[in-house]
Amino acid sequence: MQRKGRPLSPGELERYDRQLRIPTFSHEIQQRLKKSKVAILGLGGTGCPCAIYLSAAGVGEIRIVEHDKVELSNLNRQILYGECVLREYKVEVGTERLRDLNRDISLEAVKEKVTEKNVEELIRGCDFVVDGFDKVRDRLIVNQACLIAQIPANHAFVHGFRGEVVTVIPGQGPCLRCFIDDQTALTSLSGVGNVIGVAAGVVGLFQATDVIKHLTSIGEIFPGQRLLVDLLDFTLYHLEQERRRNCPHCNHLQEDFQ
């Protein structure tokens, strides 16, 4: 989605100096980020680092949707918070921290729980959606809404020292529902159980990286593949996934994409 934007200010040129030194990262590329809008749904273990680095990189508009309050058990992995803000709303605390990081971008805090009824409105107008949820049910709500709106999205899973990212670009390969069997899709299984904070951090950074690569058209994205990382032995690999025949989320859209 193309938006009008002001030229980079002297302050922005200084702020982004190190990334503007990258040979493939021109002022025009930085302007693309400035004109982009991203929704981050869930500001937890993966959403926090993703939000930090998208803000730092200069994504112009970021909508953050989160309804939970900060709990002590969050603090091993949710790095936007501290003990001084326990029982405060994550979206309020997190957005203020991000504003302090970068006052040149626009941050929208939405204190709502994402549901099938409001998800369409929450992602409207966005160029990319980051799924920071820990429940399969919530992830699939986001997946279906993004397919219908034809908005790219990525989804993160973390368990112990291992993590996984799936980036879905409508019309290019399978969607998240293609990966998930029918029985699992009917449950509200949580992806947060045994989690070391660094694993959530690494996976959140992979999510942010794919967002930046997509918005700037720099580098390669692997839509519909499972990017798996194991921090115990530092292995990283992709698993191919075919589009699932008769997938209840993307099957009816396949003809439109061809």
226-230 sheet: strands from edge to edge: 106-110, 61-65, 37-41, 128-131, 153-159, 162-168, 226-230, 235-239
Asked whether the whole model's pTM tops 0.85, one would answer yes
Please report the pLDDT score of residue 209 as a whole number.
98
How far is Cα 227 from Cα 224, in angstroms, rounded to an integer?
A: 9
From 109, 94, 100, select the one nearest 46 (Cα to Cα): 94
Beta-strand ranges (E) seen in 55-97 are: 61-65
Interval 183-211: pLDDT, tens: 666 554 455 578 999 999 999 999 999 99
Mean pLDDT score of the chain = 92
Kindly list the structural domains of the chain, giving each domain's residue range(s) and its CATH number in brackets, ordered by start: 10-257 (3.40.50.720)
Residue 244: how many other CB atoms lie within 10 Å: 17
The model's confidence at residue 227, banded by pLDDT at 50, 70 and 90, is very high
Instruction: Find how far residue 254's CA is from the centre of its chain.
Output: 24
